[in-house]
Amino acid sequence: MLRSFDLVLIGVMTAAAVVTYTVKHRADDKLQEVRRLEAEIRLERDTIDLLRADWALLTQPNRLERLMVAYQSELQLVPTLPTQLAMPVELPMPRSQLPMPETTIEDLIASAGGEVAAALKGVDEAKKAQPASGIPVPIPRGGFPVDVISTGSVNR
């Protein structure tokens, strides 16, 4: 005769067996996925090694020299002279490091006399004047910066 306690224990054992089997099955799936990823990584590493070897072969100096000789008429290459190379100190300095001029544009205009001032005044007047009716005028874009304009090619 089976007691109710025996039936409960059989149910618990069955549930534990099902849970154990499910966990084992999931672990096997994860192990299979790890092995697949390791195989992909190994394939990528082998591909990188092959590409590096190919690059080393393609950039051998004697091979490049043979190609240069073969295609000299089309490429018209000449060796680089040592005088063509510049040292970092020979390069021009960045704008931020340029010395400030001693005179300003306003000082130069004032010293040049009335001709330059009159010419600048005429330019200012021309800017303020309305254009003739036959000249097309571009429509203002609304003051948007160029970086903000959307082209519609990217869904956001």
What domain range is 53 assigned to? 4-72
Residue 110 lies in a domain: no
126 within domain boundaries: no
5-51 pLDDT, tens digit per residue, is 888 999 999 999 999 999 999 999 999 999 999 999 999 999 999 99
pTM of the model: 0.41
Answer whether residue 14 is part of any domain: yes
Tell whether 46 is covered by a domain.
yes
Domain count, the chain: 1
**Up-side HSE of residue 132: CA atoms within 13 Å toward CB?**
2
| Structural domain contains residue 132 | no
Measured CA to CA, the distance from residue 70 to residue 106 in angstroms comes to 61
Cβ proximity of 109 and 117 under 8 Å: yes
12 falls within a domain: yes
C-alpha dihedral sign at 138, 144, 146, 151 = negative
Q: Does 67 fall in a domain?
A: yes
